[in-house]
Amino acid sequence: MERPIKIVFDVETGEEKYIPLTDKEFADMQAGVELEAARQAELEAARLAEEAARESARAKLAALGLTEAEVAALVK
């Protein structure tokens, strides 16, 4: 993979410079991408756990004899 670049713009001269990222900047960028992927996976796991809990609650309420309408009124 080609090294990403950054654009540095000098507002006084209007000059743009295209500079490859340093090793540290590149490593920081990769760490940020990995951190965001982990955060997204954590959010998805929490969403799935909440969905499973909701379905479990629906099943338990139905087992108690509540109608589907009553269950729907209690569990959104």
Indicate the pLDDT class of residue 55, thresholds 50, 70 and 90.
very high
Q: What is the mean pLDDT of residues 17-42?
A: 95
- The alpha helices in the chain, defined as continuous H runs, are 23-63, 68-74
CB distance 18 to 7 below 8 Å: yes
| φ and ψ at residue 11, rounded to 5 degrees | -70, -25
For residue 22, the enclosing domain spans 5-74
Provide the mean pLDDT of the chain. Answer: 93
| DSSP SS3 for 50 | helix
| Count of domains forming the chain | 1
Q: Mean pLDDT throughout 30-38?
A: 95
* Integer Cα distance of 36 and 16 in angstroms: 30
Task: Give CA separation, 38 vs 34, 46, 47, 60, 65, in Å.
Answer: 6, 12, 14, 33, 41
